[in-house]
């Protein structure tokens, strides 16, 4: 029996079943970790998280063998790459060079990738490549090792779900969006004519279950539609598949999605499991379920974790000769065993002297002071990490800076006069009016706003004629994209 564990923030999901090319599900366990012990896939308090997982494991009698971790973390970098057709070892080396612009040292990171499409004419393979810091992976391995679990693999949530969709739902030439809802995190995968095309992940700031929360989810779909427009993708979206929710929640969501301009039916994901209860559990924990699908050793970060050590294990003929020479030398050294025994007795005398020193009260006191200093340092590091995470979250809020206002006004130049009415920092809404003598110029201005990357969405009302000025008025509301206006701070 295999186990796939998924976590990013507090929600922990475990899928138990048989791992293979077509994973089979036996049962799903879910729980919520203590607040603050893990944020965005970054462990803030290893002891608290480890204790929670250990109790969760014991309570549900979860197997401790063949365990894979599926983790969603903003420390994992990703790229879509076209690489030459190479063997696995050379492919790993090629990807490492492609990540050199990330300014990370090679020995501090490890690589994994998912094959997407092969072009035999160009002798290239399109892959979804990812790089993760080894320090973070070691922390996960240590937490599970303390529970008596040796992780067999660590897989990123993005790569796992993309590979799962490619090998299951995307078979055929359909164009659709898979939306995976996981608390205040929503992930969207765009499949165009059966091929993976785009992935995004958005944090929702409104309370889960509220109408505003549904608006957040629908707006993330609108971003994908804008991406399709930018890339001149003409294939229509045939359907929106939603995982992580219930059928009852989809009735209102259909209407909200339509209002965002996505004219496609919304359906609950069908994982293809005959048992209705298991089928429902699978879509509620789709990231964990995807970990039961074996997508190849290159998908596993641990495959290339100790690449340098693996290289050392492969001996060339010259190395074999050296090994034989060393073995012969060792045989000769056995004859000198008596000499080394005498040396050992002398060394023991020295050891006793050092032992007395280490056992003295003065030395023990100095060691105690050192351990206290280390504990204080670790406590300060935890506080620093917590503060740094909060700052990163705040930095994702957009800011209506002078540059943003200048973009709004510059876009209107020659078409309309604009007047900023309000800005809502929490939601990113910017409201303003546009006035023009010619009605068509206002709509040309709206089209120019839609082309600006700083806006996640642009909405407007119908126009009215102001008799005093003989100008046509229209009210415009734009939603700034996350982190807009903070680049210059």
Enumerate residues 6+ apart whose C-beta is below 8 A from 47.
none
Q: What is the mean pLDDT of the chain?
A: 86
Over residues 258-271, mean pLDDT: 88
What is residue 487's predicted lDDT score, i.e. its pLDDT? 59
**Percent helix, strand and coil across the chain, each rounded to 5?**
45, 25, 30
Tell which wins on pLDDT, 15 or 109: 15
Over residues 281-309, mean pLDDT: 85
Q: How many Cα atoms within 13 Å fall on the side-chain side of residue 29?
A: 17
Domains of the chain: residue spans and CATH: 1-157+281-312 (3.30.420.380), 170-268 (3.30.420.40), 318-394 (no CATH), 402-480 (3.30.1360.100)
Tell which wins on pLDDT, 25 or 427: 25
CA distance 450 to 446: 6
The answer on pLDDT for 160 being more than 90 is yes
pLDDT digits (tens, 9 = 90+) for 453-471: 888 888 887 788 888 888 8
- The bridge status of strand 2-7 relative to strand 417-424 is unpaired
The answer on pLDDT for 68 being more than 90 is yes
The answer on pLDDT for 129 being more than 80 is yes
Give the range with max mean pLDDT: 111-125, 357-371, 419-433.
111-125
pLDDT digits (tens, 9 = 90+) for 83-118: 998 888 888 888 888 888 775 555 588 899 988 888
Over residues 40-49, mean pLDDT: 91
Query: Where does 139-235 show beta strands of DSSP type E?
Result: 153-156, 176-182, 185-192, 195-203
- The bridge status of strand 195-203 relative to strand 185-192 is antiparallel
CA distance 70 to 279: 20
What is the band of 313 on the pLDDT scale with cuts at 50, 70, 90?
very low
Give the range with max mean pLDDT: 75-79, 152-156, 327-331, 461-465.
152-156
The answer on pLDDT for 489 being more than 90 is no
The token duo for 231 is 């890339």
The answer on pLDDT for 311 being more than 80 is no
The answer on pLDDT for 139 being more than 90 is yes
The answer on pLDDT for 314 being more than 50 is no
Cα-trace Rg, the chain: 29
The answer on pLDDT for 162 being more than 70 is yes
Of 104, 247, 238, the closest CA to residue 175 belongs to 238
Tell which wins on pLDDT, 112 or 398: 112
Residue 273, φ and ψ in degrees, nearest 5: -100, 130
pTM of the complete model: 0.61
The token duo for 367 is 């060691």
What is residue 50's predicted lDDT score, i.e. its pLDDT? 94
* Across 176-185, 204-213, 397-406, 436-445, least confident range: 397-406
CA distance 7 to 184: 13
């Amino acid at each position: 029996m295999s186990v796939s564990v998924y976590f990013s923030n507090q929600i922990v999901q475990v899928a138990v079943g048989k791992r293979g090319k077509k994973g089979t599900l036996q049962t799903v366990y879910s729980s919520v970790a203590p607040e603050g012990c893990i944020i965005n896939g970054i462990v803030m308090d290893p002891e608290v998280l480890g204790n929670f997982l250990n109790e969760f494991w014991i309570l549900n009698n979860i197997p401790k063998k063949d365990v894979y971790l599926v983790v969603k973390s903003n420390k994992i970098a990703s790229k879509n790459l076209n690489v030459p057709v190479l063997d696995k070892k050379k492919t790993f080396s090629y990807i490492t060079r492609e990540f050199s612009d990330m300014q990370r040292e090679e020995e501090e990171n490890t690589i994994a990738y998912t094959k997407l499409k092969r072009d035999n004419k160009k002798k290239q393979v399109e892959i979804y490549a990812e790089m993760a810091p080894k320090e973070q992976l070691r922390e996960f391995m240590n937490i599970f090792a303390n529970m008596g679990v040796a992780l067999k693999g660590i897989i990123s949530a993005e790569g796992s779900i993309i590979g799962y969709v490619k090998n299951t739902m995307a078979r055929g030439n359909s164009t659709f969006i898979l939306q995976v809802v996981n608390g205040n995190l929503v992930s969207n995968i765009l499949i165009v004519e059966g091929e993976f095309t785009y992935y995004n992940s958005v944090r929702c700031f409104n309370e889960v279950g509220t109408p505003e929360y549904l608006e957040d989810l629908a707006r993330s779909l609108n971003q994908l539609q804008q991406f399709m427009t930018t890339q001149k993708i003409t294939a229509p979206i045939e359907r929106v598949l939603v995982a992580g929710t219930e059928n009852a929640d989809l009735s209102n969501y259909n209407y909200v999605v339509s209002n965002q301009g996505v004219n496609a039916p919304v359906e609950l994901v069908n994982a293809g499991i005959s048992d209705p209860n298991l089928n429902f559990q699978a879509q509620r924990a789709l990231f964990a379920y995807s970990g039961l699908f074996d997508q190849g050793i290159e998908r596993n970060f641990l495959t290339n974790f100790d690449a340098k050590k693996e290289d050392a294990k492969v001996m060339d003929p010259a190395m074999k000769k050296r090994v034989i020479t060393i073995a012969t030398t060792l045989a000769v050294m056995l004859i000198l065993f008596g000499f080394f025994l005498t040396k050992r007795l002398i060394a023991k005398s020295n050891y006793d002297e050092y032992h007395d020193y280490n056992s003295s009260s003065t030395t023990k006191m100095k060691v105690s002071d050192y351990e206290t200093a280390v504990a204080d340092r670790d406590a300060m590091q935890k506080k620093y990490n917590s503060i740094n995470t909060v700052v990163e979250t705040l930095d994702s809020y957009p800011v209506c800076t002078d540059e943003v206002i200048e973009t709004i006004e510059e876009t209107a130049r020659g078409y309309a006069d604009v007047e900023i009415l309000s800005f809502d920092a929490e939601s990113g809404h910017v409201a303003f009016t546009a006035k023009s003598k010619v009605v068509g110029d206002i709509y040309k201005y709206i089209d120019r706003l839609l082309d600006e990357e700083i806006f996640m969405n642009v909405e407007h009302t119908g126009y009215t004629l102001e008799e005093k000025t003989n100008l046509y008025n229209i009210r415009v509301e734009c939603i700034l994209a996350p982190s807009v206006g903070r680049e210059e701070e």
